[in-house]
Amino acid sequence: MLTKRIIPCLDIKNGRTVKGVNFIDLRDAGDPVELAKQYANQGADELVFLDISATLEGRGTTLDMVLRVAEQVNIPFTVGGGISSVEHVDALLQCGADKVSINSSAVKRPELVNELSNKFGSQCVVVAIDAKQINGQWKVHLAGGSIPTEIDLFEWAKEVETRGAGEILFTSMDHDGTKNGFANEALSKLSETLNIPIIASGGAGSVQHFIDTFEEGKSDAALAASVFHFGEIPVPKLKEALKKNNISVRL
């Protein structure tokens, strides 16, 4: 049985970690490098850093932060935010990132997924998809969730898989920051549709929610922010609980 992964997510704005509800009402959650070190020491499997204002501000993710993180942590980490070219990804990987996450840029130019996969390997390419339900249909949103599209979540996920994406990071905007649990029905459907790993994001509020997304949502990894940043669920306690529920994790 494949080991399930626990991934703290650090949303970065102006060099600080922030967290909101439904993608708005952001509050400060600390220094990203210090938090990263803390999570690595606690036994997190990976980290994700998302420069949440990079796309809206029309710039790339800061290389300086990536360098500082790489110096301090010994677990894989993914970087996303405003990434739109092979050159930018090359620079991020050179600075120490293990993977990159692309979102809006992939929708605007789907060939980018092929280019990155061909150049760096699919294991480096995470396609992040922010979606919410509109009239019962999951629709993809861009630019930090601020721009709705008519693109269907499941069709888009399938397309990027065929283009060479190595993983899908699916965030339910309806569940984000609510602490009411992950979008397990959609996650389960994604898992049945695709052959690549699915990272669940949006809605973690209790240990049970993580158990549910692994069992009901068939997720390969679970990503969360505020429950980790504000000390509500320590990573070691979460992993022990998962193990007790016969969910394979790395302790």
Give the pairing type, strands 24-30 and 16-21: antiparallel
DSSP E strands: which ranges in 52-118? Answer: 77-80, 99-102
Closest CA to 183 of 235, 223, 232: 223
Q: Round the CA-based radius of gyration of the chain to a whole number and report it.
A: 16
DSSP E strands: which ranges in 153-250? Answer: 167-172, 198-201, 221-224
Instruction: Mark whether 130 is an active-site residue.
Output: yes
Within 10 angstroms of residue 109's Cβ, the number of other Cβ atoms is 13
The three-state secondary structure class of 140 is: strand
Nearest-angstrom CA–CA distance, 32 and 66: 10
What are the tokens at 86?
Answer: 């092979």
Burial level of 171, CB count in 10 A (0-12/13-18/19+)? Answer: buried
Catalytic choice (51, 130, 176, 220): 130
Strand-pair partners of 9: 48
Instruction: Mark whether 212 is an active-site residue.
Output: no
249: left (phi over 0), alpha (psi -120 to 50) or beta: beta
Which residues have a catalytic role annotated?
11, 130
